[in-house]
């Protein structure tokens, strides 16, 4: 009725202009009313949130989420009603423009062109709504201390409005001063008006627009809860749902489109025909036109919210990783019963929360994982830096265990051990154990290892073990975060999901492989370090130890005692850092290695007699007892060394008889060196020894040589004469 009256009086344009000029102001007042209503209804929750903010952050977050959900639900429902109201008004005006029955023009008058009462469109209302929605999103998601810098959202359809909006400041004095100035200007204009009736229409609109512009730059709505990026799932998802609900009232392209002048009913019909039957496809792979209505939300998310959230995540990351205790253990976070680093215990919740935040945003399902990859890579760099600092000596030299761990053959052997430990490969074979020892001897290059090449600082070994355990925990956590993201990506349509999942797996592999490689190297360095300590001390025990004694020794060789203490200390430290399965990998086959060194190093023993043999057996028993005391698997390796030195008491004939009855147990070289020991302490004349020695070596060769083959062991038959020469030199000594 009112619109028909305005049409009859031909003042529809003026009325529409008044409506257009007051849309923004009325929306602002509407939001203030909703805030007051929600605040009154949720007064108890708001008070609880403020009280629990310090004592129980989780309770405060739940209360804030409930209050904000109530506010967003009412807000978007009423904004939708407002949009429907304006859509209806424009529909009626459009209908009135198409008929002349309300015109006061005489029927006899010349025909007049059809009226176009369209000073504003639904796009004007929508632009005002988007401005208010963006303002609310920004004020609730971004804290004031992060709003100092300008936000560049160029190339956006809402860029101008958003740019002005994001520079608002609280200033009651400015608002009062501006109101007073505008009142004076309006008064002066009115006093200068010559024709009040004609000039009133000209002054009304500017007065309203200026008044709103001033308030728009100074007004901020009251906050119901404190700003936080954690509110994003509630606000952004509800804003997206609201936008999709009202999309049918908007033209496919609301700004600058010829469709903007169509009837709203026609527009809704056209939009309904063009809209897809299923849910809107969003994201970078969406079809053109599908995301026009929610483009402002995508712009806000990518150019305002996401950079702020990423900056906040980086600030938290730097705070955690740059702390003086960043790489101390966290006694509240354990993996496999062992603690991890504090920095990792703080970084993982950051990754998990940020991943959950992105996954819970309906519009951006799992597609923005760059910050998670960046944080993961930066923390890996911190771990790598710690590892490199730990494995460098005070002289800035890399320890030998690290150099050996970079050998390809050693890596392949250790990788096989890992797969065997996890049940992915068959049990370890003796040939693999021997191959590892041969490779280590090749890297050692038949020399004694210097003490400065080894890590004797237990703190360094502990740091490497804790780093390995932390990396393993991080791998498990990254796998969970990745699985959550993959589940979200599968919610896309098949083609999009397949493309996103493929990219996701590639991104995941890059990060996981780096963590896994460093984790394996840490464990490998620990294993090699223990084994190089065995090489070092047993070399000293055989090269520098005295095994030609006048009386029986009551104690083992001092270097053997030092090795036992060293192994016990390392095992004690590692047991507190590594679970049992990893501890077994570090110390696995250590007795086999000890036995091999004690047998192979007979070539370095300068002289030997019965008392020295008893001392060597005492060394072996001391090593066995130590491995038993520290609950390490003895594996029977040292029994082999003990049986070897027990051959000495059998004499040359007894050794040959033992081989004939039980078969060869040791190599040709090993037996030959034992014959050297036997003859060096026999006290016979050189000529007699030489004849018997040659005879025993020939018999040994016969026993160890299979038909049509070479002697068992690494030494060829031609070396028998070389053994005799060596024996002669030893006997003379």
pLDDT digits 0-9 by tens, 337-388: 899 999 999 999 999 888 888 888 766 665 567 888 889 999 999 999 999 9
3 compared with 557, residue with greater pLDDT: 557
* DSSP secondary structure string for all residues of 114-165: PP---S--HHHHHHHHHHHHHHHHHHHHS-GGG-SS----TT-TTHHHHHHH
Q: Taking 60 as the threshold, does the pLDDT of residue 239 lie above it?
A: yes
Q: Classify domain 301-441+455-527 by CATH number.
A: 1.10.357
- Check residue 268 and give its pLDDT: 52
- Check residue 34 and give its pLDDT: 92
- Which residues does residue 338 pair with via DSSP β-bridges, in sequence order? 335
- pLDDT category at 444 given cuts 50, 70, 90 is very high
Q: Is 108 exposed, middle or buried (0-12, 13-18, 19+ CB in 10 A)?
A: exposed
Q: What percent of the chain has pLDDT over 70?
A: 69
Which of 144-159 are b and which e, b meaning 16 or more Cβ less than 10 Å from the residue's Cβ?
Answer: eebbeeebebeebbbe
265 compared with 98, residue with greater pLDDT: 98
pLDDT tens, position by position, 638-695: 999 999 999 999 999 999 999 999 889 999 999 999 998 988 865 554 655 678 888 8
State how far the Cα of 335 lies from the Cα of 471, in Å rounded to an integer: 10
- Decide the pairing of beta strands 329-335 and 338-341: antiparallel
Beta strands in 518-620 (DSSP E): none
- Check residue 367 and give its pLDDT: 59
pLDDT tens, position by position, 303-314: 888 888 888 889
- Check residue 193 and give its pLDDT: 46
- Check residue 377 and give its pLDDT: 93
Phi–psi pair at 419, nearest 5 degrees: -65, -35
- Check residue 255 and give its pLDDT: 42
Nearest to 235, CA basis, from 361, 332, 339, 347: 361
Structure tokens at 290: 């599908």
Phi–psi pair at 378, nearest 5 degrees: -65, -40
State how far the Cα of 695 lies from the Cα of 724, in Å rounded to an integer: 10
pLDDT tens, position by position, 384-415: 999 999 999 888 899 999 999 999 999 999 99
Which of 668-683 are b and which e, b meaning 16 or more Cβ less than 10 Å from the residue's Cβ?
Answer: bbbbbbbbbbbbbbbe
pTM of the full structure? 0.75
Nearest to 541, CA basis, from 611, 587, 602: 602
Taking residues 432-443, report their average pLDDT. Answer: 94
Terminal CA-CA length for the chain: 130
Phi–psi pair at 22, nearest 5 degrees: -105, 0
Q: What is the mean pLDDT of the chain?
A: 78
- Check residue 95 and give its pLDDT: 63
- Check residue 306 and give its pLDDT: 85
Point out the least confidently predicted range of 24-38, 128-142, 177-191, 230-244: 177-191
Taking residues 541-549, report their average pLDDT. Answer: 92
Q: What percent of the chain has pLDDT over 90?
A: 38
Q: Is 276 exposed, middle or buried (0-12, 13-18, 19+ CB in 10 A)?
A: exposed
């Amino acid at each position: 009725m009112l619109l028909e009256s305005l049409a009859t009086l031909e003042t529809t344009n003026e009325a529409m202009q008044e409506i257009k000029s007051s849309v923004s102001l009325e929306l602002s007042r509407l939001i203030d009313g909703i805030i007051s209503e929600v605040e009154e209804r949720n007064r108890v929750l708001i008070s609880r949130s403020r009280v629990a903010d310090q004592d129980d952050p989780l309770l405060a977050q739940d209360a804030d989420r409930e209050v904000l959900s109530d506010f967003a639900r009412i807000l978007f429902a009423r904004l939708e009603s407002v949009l429907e109201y304006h859509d209806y008004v424009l529909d009626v005006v459009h209908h009135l423009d198409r008929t002349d029955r309300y015109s006061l023009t005489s029927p006899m008058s010349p025909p007049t062109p059809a009226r176009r009462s369209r000073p504003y469109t639904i796009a004007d209302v929508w632009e005002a709504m988007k401005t208010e929605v963006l303002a609310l999103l920004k004020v609730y998601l971004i804290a004031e201390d992060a709003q100092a810098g300008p936000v560049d959202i160029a190339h956006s359809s809402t860029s101008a409005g958003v740019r002005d909006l994001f520079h608002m400041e609280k200033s009651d004095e400015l608002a009062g001063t501006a109101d007073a100035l505008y009142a004076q200007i309006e008064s002066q204009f009115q006093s200068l008006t010559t024709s009040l009736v004609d000039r009133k229409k000209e002054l009304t609109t500017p007065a309203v627009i200026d008044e709103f512009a001033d308030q728009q730059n100074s007004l901020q709505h009251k906050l119901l809860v404190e700003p936080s990026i954690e509110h994003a799932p509630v606000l952004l998802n509800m804003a997206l749902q609201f936008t999709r609900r009202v999309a049918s009232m908007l033209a496919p392209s609301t700004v600058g489109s010829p469709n903007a002048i169509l009837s709203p009913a026609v527009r809704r019909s056209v939009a309904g025909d063009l809209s897809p039957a299923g849910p809107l496809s969003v994201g970078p792979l969406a079809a053109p036109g599908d995301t026009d209505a929610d483009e402002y939300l995508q712009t806000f998310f990518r150019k305002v919210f996401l950079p702020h959230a990423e900056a906040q995540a980086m600030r938290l990351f730097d705070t955690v990783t740059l702390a003086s205790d960043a790489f101390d253990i966290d006694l509240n976070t354990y993996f496999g019963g062992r603690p991890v680093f504090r920095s990792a215990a703080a970084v993982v919740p950051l990754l998990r929360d940020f991943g959950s935040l992105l996954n819970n945003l309906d519009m951006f399902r799992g597609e923005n994982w760059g910050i998670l990859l960046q944080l993961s890579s930066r923390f890996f760099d911190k771990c790598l830096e710690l590892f490199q600092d730990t494995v460098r000596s005070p002289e800035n030299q890399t320890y030998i265990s690290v150099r050996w761990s970079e050998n390809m053959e050693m890596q392949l052997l250790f990788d096989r051990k890992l797969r065997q430990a996890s049940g992915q490969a068959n049990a370890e074979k003796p040939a693999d154990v021997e191959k590892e020892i041969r490779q280590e001897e090749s890297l050692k290059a038949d020399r004694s290892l210097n003490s400065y090449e080894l890590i004797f600082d237990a703190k360094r070994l502990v740091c490497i073990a804790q780093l390995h355990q932390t990396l393993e925990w991080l791998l498990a956590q990254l796998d969970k975060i990745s699985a959550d993201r993959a589940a979200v990506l599968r919610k896309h349509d098949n083609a999009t999901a397949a493309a996103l999942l493929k990219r996701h797996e590639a991104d995941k592999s890059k990060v996981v492989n780096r963590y896994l490689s460093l984790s394996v190297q840490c464990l490998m360095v620990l294993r090699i370090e223990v084994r190089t300590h065995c090489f070092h001390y047993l070399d000293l025990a055989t090269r520098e130890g005295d095994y030609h004694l006048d009386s029986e020794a009551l104690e083992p060789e001092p270097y053997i005692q030092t090795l036992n203490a060293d192994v016990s200390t390392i095992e004690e430290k590692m047991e507190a850092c590594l679970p049992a399965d990893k501890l077994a990998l570090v110390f696995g086959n250590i007795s086999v290695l000890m036995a091999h060194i004690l047998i192979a190093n007979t070539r370095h023993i300068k002289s030997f007699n019965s008392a020295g043999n008893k001392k060597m057996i005492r060394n072996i028993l001391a090593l066995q007892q130590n491995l038993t005391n520290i609950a390490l698997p003895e594996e029977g390796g040292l029994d082999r060394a003990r049986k070897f030195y027990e051959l000495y008491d059998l004499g040359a004939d007894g050794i040959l008889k033992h081989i004939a009855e039980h078969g060869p147990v040791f190599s040709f070289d090993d037996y030959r060196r034992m014959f050297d020991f036997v003859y060096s302490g026999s006290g016979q004349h050189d000529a007699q020894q030489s004849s018997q020695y040659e005879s025993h070596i020939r018999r040994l060769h016969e026993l160890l040589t299979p038909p049509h083959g070479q002697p068992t062991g690494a030494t060829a038959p031609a070396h028998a004469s070389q053994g005799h020469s060596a024996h002669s030199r030893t006997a003379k000594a």
